[in-house]
Structure 1
Amino acid sequence: MLSLSASLSLLASVMLLGGCGILFQHHEKRADATLQPTGGNTASGTVTFIERADGVQVSYNLSGMPPNSDHALQIHERGDCIVSGSDGGPVFAPASERTNSGSKVEGDLASIHADANGSATGFIVASDVSLDGVRSVLSRALLLHRDAADTYAITPHGAGPALACGVIRQ
């Protein structure tokens, strides 16, 4: 049988190790963007970015779009939405060698579809971006464009003017 001091020592060790587990637990990397309508538009909503093993899960809940319409959801280089969402700069493309071939760039997340009520809810997995390092989307502008992303343009308005804009923040 263990002595009282040995039992207390064992209990203290178990509690200490249990406390260390809290310190070393995997903490989910997460960021959010609140999209506000640009001048003359009504689109708005929230977008959440959660880093997973297979990429960044981008969950969106948007409203105020034209009914039954398709729109590009894109990350732009600069985190600025001051002038109608147009100050975000070009679409985020850290792998510049890919932009010359006309292939999809990292910041072109997806085209989303608004339902009959002008709302869109869902998620995509963006495997080419992250929440840290050179492919980080933090502090960049997230724009909801008027048109769908059917071409991979690198220009600031490749998918038409912005309906809503927000900055991605932790």
Structure 2
Amino acid sequence: MRHRFDGRALYASIAMAACSVMLSGCGLFFQNHEKRADAVLQPTPGNATRGTVTLIERADGVQVSYNLTDMPPNSDHALTVHERGDCIAVSEQDASPVFALPSDRRRTVSRLEGELGNIHADATGAATGFIVATDVSLDGVRSIISRAIMLHREAMDPYANAPHNVGPALACGVIRR
């Protein structure tokens, strides 16, 4: 007695194996991919401050984590994002304006999107921590990718009206993916 080969069972097995392989690969496609950028801050002429800034987009804003050294001990400093990704011309007169949407530039606002906040250096001149920036993003019209991030000599006064005078930059870096 001869048994006849049924190709349908073989094809069904192959199809099921292929589907399971494809579906396991879809997990990578549908995973929550983190939007992330980094900046390496280098000292401006005459200063020693340096460090890293990591930016991660979260549901409540961009988490700006910083790890900075060689700052003046026990001091407060403004951390700002500027329009152009240029750290060569960083004197107070030459630096590009603080990042802001065109609509905010036309009206008087107390705070611009690029004014991330103040950070505090400890007794050793180091600062580690994070700020959540709700007015910026890592893509779209509020994107700060390829812009300069600067640590300034002075802190921002949260109660002052714009423009804020925070002095020259101690360190500068360009935000990159």
The TM-score, its normalising length taken from structure 2, stands at: 0.86
Structure 2 gap segments, 5+ residues each: 1-8
Cα–Cα, structure 1 residues 127 and 99, in superposed 2: closer, same or farther, change >3 Å? farther
CA contact (8 A) 2:104 2:112 kept: no
2: CA distance between counterparts of 1:77 and 1:52? 22
CA contact (8 A) 2:89 2:95 kept: no
CA contact (8 A) 1:108 1:152 kept: no
Cα–Cα, structure 1 residues 28 and 153, in superposed 2: closer, same or farther, change >3 Å? same
The structure with the larger Rg is 2
> Who is 1:112 aligned against?
119
Give the SS at the match of 1:15.
helix
- 1:27 is matched by which residue type in structure 2? H
Give the SS at the match of 1:41.
coil
Offset of 1:149 from its aligned partner?
A: 0.9
2: CA distance between counterparts of 1:107 and 1:36? 19
Q: Which aligned pairs between 1:61-100 and structure 2 lie closer than 5 A? A: 61-84=67-90, 86=92, 87-94=94-101, 96-97=103-104, 100=107
2: CA distance between counterparts of 1:99 and 1:91? 14
1:85-144 Cα shifts (integer Å, max 9, x gaps): 554411111153376333211100010000000000001111110011110001111000
Equivalent residue in structure 1 for 2:18, among 12, 15, 26:
12
Offset of 1:41 from its aligned partner?
A: 0.3
Q: Which aligned pairs between 1:79-158 and structure 2 lie closer than 5 A? A: 79-84=85-90, 86=92, 87-94=94-101, 96-97=103-104, 100-150=107-157, 151=160, 153-154=162-163, 158=165
The range that moved more, 51-60 or 11-20, is 11-20
Corresponding pairs, count: 167
CA contact (8 A) 2:78 2:155 kept: yes
CA contact (8 A) 1:91 1:154 kept: no
Between the aligned residues of both structures, percent identity stands at: 65
Give the SS at the match of 2:125.
coil
Give the SS at the match of 2:173.
strand
Structure 1 gap segments, 5+ residues each: none
- 2:133 is matched by which residue type in structure 1? A
Q: Which aligned pairs between 1:20-99 and structure 2 lie closer than 5 A? A: 20-84=26-90, 86=92, 87-94=94-101, 96-97=103-104
Cα–Cα, structure 1 residues 142 and 85, in superposed 2: closer, same or farther, change >3 Å? farther
* C-alpha RMSD over aligned residues: 2.0
Offset of 1:15 from its aligned partner?
A: 1.1
CA contact (8 A) 2:42 2:173 kept: yes
Offset of 1:71 from its aligned partner?
A: 0.1
The TM-score, its normalising length taken from structure 1, stands at: 0.89
1: CA distance between counterparts of 2:125 and 2:102? 34
Give the SS at the match of 2:131.
strand
